[in-house]
């Protein structure tokens, strides 16, 4: 099957909109591969923090991104055979990832890596520019959103459940700052892709959001 004919569902949206969980469950239901593009930027950020790389050195950060040894096994994320699933979900790593994602060289370094996830029978790709930049010809595009308050509450619960300390006011401030960076950056800003289904998950359960995405996907075959 030519790569260009392999179906792709893109699920974009801001932090804690639920896109990661929804993407995972949709991929699982359809038997598709999964790309968590945000994890690639978080892995780059984690490596930069560990190596004390300057967060203003675009060239050095891009080099780090190019030479990451990444693998995904189920829900687990590995960096050079080390399970870093929880490490990359810490707030300082997420904030760092948001900052370095604004660098064109870093985005370019990860561009080919992301395209490589498109394999038969299909791919569900979640991130911030999956439908606008990485897979502009995706068979279906979804943009998940939610209020900042709802997203902060989700992040709080996630962090506490994993044993991390969390403060609601700090989370709200961090999310607002991250939203501002992501939506106003010059390269690949966070916006719904043309023709994307927009879904507000503020008052929705994960199950309801997944059901809606699968319903939209089923409708494609009937059109």
| 18 in a labelled binding site | yes
For residue 127, say whether it is annotated as part of any ligand binding site: no
Counting runs of H as helices and runs of E as strands, what totals does the chain give?
Answer: 8, 8
* CA 111, 112, 114, 119 torsion-angle sign: positive
Residue 15 annotated in ligand binding: yes
The annotation status of 20 as a binding-site residue, yes or no, is: yes
Reference 19, options 183, 215, 219, 197; nearest CA is 197
Identify the DSSP state of 193: P
Is 13 part of any known ligand binding site?
A: yes
Q: Write the DSSP symbol of residue 87.
A: G
21 marked as binding residue: yes
Residue with tokens 């050095």: 60
Q: Any known ligand binding at 141?
A: no
Q: Which residues pair with 126 in a beta bridge?
A: 11, 36
Q: Is 17 annotated as a binding residue?
A: yes
The Cα 23–Cα 62 span in angstroms is 27
Binding site members: 13-21
- Binding-site residue ranges for ATP: 13-21
């Amino acid at each position: 099957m030519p790569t260009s004919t392999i179906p792709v569902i893109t699920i974009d949206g801001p932090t804690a909109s639920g896109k990661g969980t929804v993407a995972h469950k949709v991929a699982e239901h359809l038997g598709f591969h999964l790309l968590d593009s945000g994890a690639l930027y978080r892995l780059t950020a984690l490596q930069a923090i560990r190596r004390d790389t300057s967060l203003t050195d675009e060239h050095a950060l891009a080099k780090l991104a190019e030479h990451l040894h990444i693998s995904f096994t189920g829900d687990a994320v590995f960096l050079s055979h080390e399970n870093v699933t929880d490490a990359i979900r810490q707030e300082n790593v997420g904030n760092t990832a948001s900052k370095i994602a604004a660098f064109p060289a870093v985005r370019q370094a990860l561009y080919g890596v992301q395209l490589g996830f498109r394999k038969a029978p299909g791919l569900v790709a979640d991130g911030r520019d999956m439908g606008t930049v990485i897979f502009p010809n995706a068979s279906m595009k979804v943009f998940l959103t939610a209020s900042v308050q709802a997203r902060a509450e989700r992040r709080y619960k996630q962090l506490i459940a994993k044993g991390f300390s969390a403060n609601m006011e700090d989370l709200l401030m961090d999310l607002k700052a991250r939203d501002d960076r992501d939506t106003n950056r010059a390269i690949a800003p966070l916006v719904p892709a043309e023709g994307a289904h927009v879904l507000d998950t503020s008052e929705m359960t994960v199950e309801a959001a997944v059901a809606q995405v699968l319903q939209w996907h089923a409708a494609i075959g009937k059109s």
